[in-house]
């Protein structure tokens, strides 16, 4: 019995609904019995006020701009930890001790290779295929190669497939890039860290040794941390919904990748850098701000606004700082960074953005860094998918481990024709 109850009055009858309390964040009205009691559904198409599940992984306070993973603030994790540590934390609930981290890292490292036959898949794609198209296909195809870890009722299988997915994503993403530029695939090098290995597989060539720049490795590792998980966002909810039917984890993560691809979600980092390049110089910013405010113009400031954050996205703050670090380390600069800084400043002073509480999100600055490192824009969302795989598998595991888990099956408000009789062709 919940401590609090909500009362709903429908056609003069009063119904009590339990109110559930989390460890932080808003209480939720438990409407599971609403249909049985009242014959009515609730209506919330974009899930703007709907908690779709119970989760102990990530907490966001959008009004305050707070993001916690298992209680730890994202700023502290980005500053002090590594992506492998955050992956362990999200999967297991606690930060690893030194030996636990070593074992986990060793395990992930030993799963980085792809089944050799999977390499044939790449050759079936056009050279100009978007890396996300390749990722959707190849990750989904993993289920055909790793039958020994697809019994989702077995916790050990779930663990192995989670490790495989986390370990193989850098190899899959790097090979998508290599294929697009016509260079040979590089096998993983297990002597390198997770992130350094990915950099080498992406930018190295078999003809010479590749030196990983420590500042670039650190910056990319931090970008992975910033993207590791983000509560019940669209792609994570997609993974959960796909997984709720009992589908295997490789198929579920492929579904997540498909959802992430869209420009309103993971595709925004690619769109944001394209937008900054199109703006080109600070004097053109006011024109684009006016366009973003114009209701008759579909243009939006990409990398701006968020469904949950009504304050500065804490990840954007770390990203902005990381841009400077990468520029200093590589001794480069990019005029789009100045455009981004001035665009942010002008937008934040504008009443339209202030009233609607639109702030830079994680994607606003990430493209500037990734571009400085050498990634083409088409790879940006693939990098997001690589990092978010940790969150996806952690959320999927959390869902499957819940003894009360049921298939996700929303209802609808039907507005189509009511029942009518079939008319033969000559009578229509
Ligand atoms: N530029 C201009 N106006 C905007 C923007 C923007 N980027 N974002 C929202 N608005 C306006 C929107 O027109 C609407 O105005 P009105 O109330 O007058 O109709 C109001 O703000 C609320 O917008 P919404 O679309 O109803 O809000 P939402 O919560 O459904 O959308 C969003 C959130 C992220 C899809 C949206 O802000 C957006 O399209 N941003 C640009 C794309 C982007 O950067 N996406 C990355 C999100 S963070 C990373 C991730 O999740 O993957």
pLDDT tens, N- to C-terminus, the chain (428 residues): 567 999 999 889 999 999 999 999 999 999 999 999 999 999 999 999 999 999 999 999 999 999 999 999 999 999 999 999 999 999 999 999 999 999 999 999 999 999 999 999 999 999 999 999 999 999 999 999 998 888 999 999 999 999 999 999 999 999 999 999 999 999 999 999 999 999 999 999 999 999 999 999 999 999 999 999 999 999 999 999 999 999 999 999 999 999 999 999 998 998 999 999 999 999 999 999 999 999 999 999 999 999 999 999 999 999 999 999 999 999 999 999 999 999 999 999 999 999 999 999 999 999 999 999 999 999 999 999 999 999 999 999 999 999 999 999 999 999 999 999 999 999 99
Q: Which residues make Cβ contacts (< 8 Å) with residue 317, sequence separation at least 6?
A: 75
What is the pLDDT at residue 373?
95
State yes or no: is 283 an active-site residue. no
Task: Say if ligand 1 is within 6 A of residue 268 CB.
Answer: yes
Q: Three-class SS of residue 15?
A: strand
Q: Three-class SS of residue 69?
A: strand
What is the pLDDT at residue 139?
97
Distance in angstroms (rounded) separating the CA atoms of residues 117 and 122: 10
Cα–Cα separations (whole angstroms), residue 273 to 222, 367, 397? 19, 5, 34
Task: Say if ligand 1 is within 6 A of residue 384 CB.
Answer: no
Task: Say if ligand 1 is within 6 A of residue 362 CB.
Answer: yes
**Number of continuous H segments (helices) and E segments (strands) in the chain:** 18, 6
Task: Say if ligand 1 is within 6 A of residue 361 CB.
Answer: yes
pTM exceeding 0.85: yes
Outline where 280-376 has alpha helix (H): 285-293, 314-330, 335-349, 351-355, 363-373
Cα–Cα separations (whole angstroms), residue 337 to 59, 103, 118, 297, 362? 30, 40, 39, 25, 15
What is the pLDDT at residue 205?
97
Q: How far is the CA of 307 from the centre of ligand 1 (A)?
A: 7
With beta carbons less than 8 A apart as the criterion, state whether 34 and 283 touch. no
**272 Cα nearest atom in ligand 1:** 44
State yes or no: is 363 an active-site residue. yes
Which of 286, 303, 301 shows the shortest CA–CA distance to 369?
303
Name the residue of 230, 288, 305, 313 to mutate for ligand 1: max ligand atoms within 8 A of Cβ: 305
- Give, using CA atoms, the residue closest to atom 21 of ligand 1: 356
Task: Say if ligand 1 is within 6 A of residue 143 CB.
Answer: no
- Give, using CA atoms, the residue closest to atom 8 of ligand 1: 305
Distance in angstroms (rounded) separating the CA atoms of residues 83 and 65: 22
Q: Three-class SS of residue 5?
A: strand
**267 Cα nearest atom in ligand 1:** 52
Q: Which residues make Cβ contacts (< 8 Å) with residue 270, sequence separation at least 6?
A: 263, 367, 377, 378, 380, 381
* Burial class of residue 214 in the structure, from the number of CB atoms within 10 Å of its CB (0-12 exposed, 13-18 middle, 19+ buried): exposed
Task: Say if ligand 1 is within 6 A of residue 226 CB.
Answer: no
Candidates 163, 230, 306, 334; catalytic one: 306
What is the pLDDT at residue 1?
52
Pairing status of strand 72-73 against strand 66-69? antiparallel
What is the pLDDT at residue 124?
94
Cα–Cα separations (whole angstroms), residue 22 to 90, 397, 404? 18, 20, 17
Place of tokens 């590589």: 330
């Amino acid at each position: 019995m919940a401590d609090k109850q909500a009362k709903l009055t429908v056609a003069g009858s009063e119904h009590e609904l339990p109110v559930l309390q989390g460890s932080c964040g808003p209480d939720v009205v438990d409407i599971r019995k609403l249909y049985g009691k009242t014959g009515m559904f609730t209506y919330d198409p974009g899930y703007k006020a709907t908690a779709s599940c119970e989760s102990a992984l990530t907490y966001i306070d959008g009004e305050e701009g707070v993001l916690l993973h298992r209680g730890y603030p994202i700023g502290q994790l980005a500053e002090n930890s590594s992506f492998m540590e955050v992956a362990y934390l999200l999967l297991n609930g606690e930060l690893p001790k030194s030996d636990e981290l070593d074992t986990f890292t060793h395990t992930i490292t030993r799963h980085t290779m792809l089944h050799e036959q999977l390499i044939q898949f790449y050759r079936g794609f056009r050279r100009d295929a978007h890396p996300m198209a390749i990722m959707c296909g190849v990750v989904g195809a993993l289920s055909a190669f790793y039958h020994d870890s697809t019994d989702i009722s077995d916790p050990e299988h779930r663990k192995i497939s989670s490790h495989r997915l986390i370990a193989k994503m850098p190899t899959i993403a790097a090979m998508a890039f290599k294929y697009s530029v016509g260079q040979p695939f590089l096998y993983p090098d297990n002597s390198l860290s997770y992130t350094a290995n990915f950099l080498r597989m992406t930018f190295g060539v078999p003809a010479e040794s590749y030196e990983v720049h420590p500042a670039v490795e650190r910056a990319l590792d931090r970008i992975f941390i910033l993207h590791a998980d983000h509560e019940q966002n669209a792609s994570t909810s997609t993974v959960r919904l796909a997984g709720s039917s009992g589908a295997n984890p490789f198929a579920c993560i492929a579904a997540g990748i498909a959802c992430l691809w869209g420009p309103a979600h993971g595709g925004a980092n690619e769109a944001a850098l394209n937008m900054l390049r199109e703006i080109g110089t600070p004097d053109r910013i006011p024109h684009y701000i006016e366009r973003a405010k114009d209701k008759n113009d579909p243009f939006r400031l990409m990398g701006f606004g968020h469904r949950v954050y009504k304050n500065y996205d804490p990840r954007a703050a770390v990203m902005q700082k990381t841009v400077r670090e990468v520029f200093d380390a590589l001794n480069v600069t990019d005029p789009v960074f100045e455009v981004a800084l001035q665009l942010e400043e002008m937008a934040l002073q504008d009443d339209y953005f202030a009233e609607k509480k639109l702030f830079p999100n994680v994607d606003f600055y990430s493209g500037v860094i990734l571009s400085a490192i050498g990634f083409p824009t088409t790879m940006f969302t693939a990098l997001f998918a690589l990092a978010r795989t940790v969150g996806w598998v952690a959320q999927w595991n959390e869902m499957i481990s819940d003894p009360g888990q049921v298939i996700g099956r929303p209802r609808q408000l039907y507005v189509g024709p009511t029942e009518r009789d079939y008319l033969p062709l000559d009578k229509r």
